[in-house]
């Protein structure tokens, strides 16, 4: 009898551990389902972001796997001088736009120019379905809270976009684009004109490589060629 009294508590402990184990097994299934749902939602947002990537920027983004940004350009000093006349002249020149984008990457603020470019591309859309899809892609990548490349906007501007995103028009992002443009013109452009990236071009000196590190919240999308051909898989 004494032996039985000694072993019964141990059996009860084993039984308790067994129940706990089964609860953990059953609970993990629910957690896994939740994780899978989050992963699927994230993948969908990433696919949507393909819509706002300009193909001509893909090559430049991946041209240096080592993290250095050194791109040879054939910009004459005279052309570079023109970029210094106004921010609008800088952005209207293809090489000027690319050079300014390189500079913003050194300041970890390339989301501003990428948002501006996406808006310019968006305003050229004609198909109603494309307008809806591109607007949602821009919102997911640049506007929503904690977006991968969220731009700095005031609450009112962001709120207006959020309320109208389900029925977007070609003017949905006008106010936001204007604010980002002003920010770049008054802040980033001034520093750009004093940077080595610009001064080397203006003086005709060889360009120096610029060390970059990738921000954790940024991501790069590639192989986007034709929106219409792939759009069905995102619905």
What would the mean pLDDT of 156-160 be, rounded to a whole number?
Answer: 96
Of the listed ranges 3-7, 120-124, 151-155, the least confidently predicted one is: 3-7
Nearest CA-CA partner of 116 in 168, 179, 60, 69: 179
Cα separation of 162 and 136, whole Å?
Answer: 10
Question: How high is the pLDDT of residue 7?
Answer: 46
pLDDT at 87 over 80: yes
Helix (H) or strand (E) holding 42: helix 2-48
Alpha helices (H) in 93-168, listed in sequence order: 94-106, 110-122, 128-138, 155-164
Binned at pLDDT 50, 70 and 90, residue 40 comes out as low
| DSSP labels, 43-84 | HHHHHHGGGG--HHHHHHHTS-TTSEE-------HHHHHHHT
Average pLDDT, the chain: 75
pTM above 0.85, yes or no: no
Q: Domains in the chain and their CATH numbers?
A: 77-203 (1.10.167.10)
Alpha carbons within 13 A on the beta-carbon side of 211:
0
pLDDT category at 170 given cuts 50, 70, 90 is very high
- Between 228 and 196, the more confident residue is 196
pLDDT of res. 34: 62
Q: Which residues contact 168 (CB under 8 A, 6 or more apart)?
A: 131, 132, 135, 136
Do residues 105 and 69 make contact, with C-beta atoms less than 8 angstroms apart?
Answer: yes
172 pLDDT higher than 70:
yes
Q: How far apart are the first and last CA of the chain?
A: 70
Stretch 130-139: mean pLDDT:
97
Q: Output the pLDDT for position 206.
A: 85
pLDDT digits (tens, 9 = 90+) for 89-134: 999 999 999 999 999 999 999 999 999 999 999 999 999 999 999 9
């Amino acid at each position: 009898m004494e032996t039985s009294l000694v072993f019964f508590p141990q059996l009860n402990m084993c039984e308790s551990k067994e129940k706990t184990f089964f609860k953990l097994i059953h609970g993990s299934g629910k957690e896994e389902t939740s994780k899978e749902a989050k992963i699927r939602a994230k993948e969908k947002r990433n696919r949507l972001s393909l819509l706002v990537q300009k193909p001509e920027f893909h090559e430049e983004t991946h041209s240096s796997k080592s993290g250095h940004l050194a791109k040879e350009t054939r910009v004459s000093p005279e052309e570079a001088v023109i970029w210094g006349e106004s921010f609008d002249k800088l952005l209207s020149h293809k090489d000027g736009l690319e050079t300014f984008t390189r500079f913003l990457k050194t300041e970890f603020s390339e989301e501003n120019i990428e948002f501006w470019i996406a808006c310019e591309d968006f305003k050229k859309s004609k198909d109603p379905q494309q307008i809806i899809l591109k607007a949602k892609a821009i919102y997911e990548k640049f506007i929503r809270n904690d977006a991968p490349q969220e731009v700095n906007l005031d609450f009112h501007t962001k709120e207006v976009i959020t309320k109208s995103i389900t029925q977007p028009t070609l003017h949905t992002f006008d106010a936001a684009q204007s604010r980002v443009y002003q920010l770049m013109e008054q802040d980033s452009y001034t520093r750009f004109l004093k940077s080595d990236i610009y001064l080397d071009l203006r003086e005709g000196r060889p360009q120096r490589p610029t060390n970059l590190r990738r921000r954790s919240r940024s991501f790069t999308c590639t192989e986007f060629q034709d929106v219409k051909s792939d759009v069905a898989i995102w619905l």
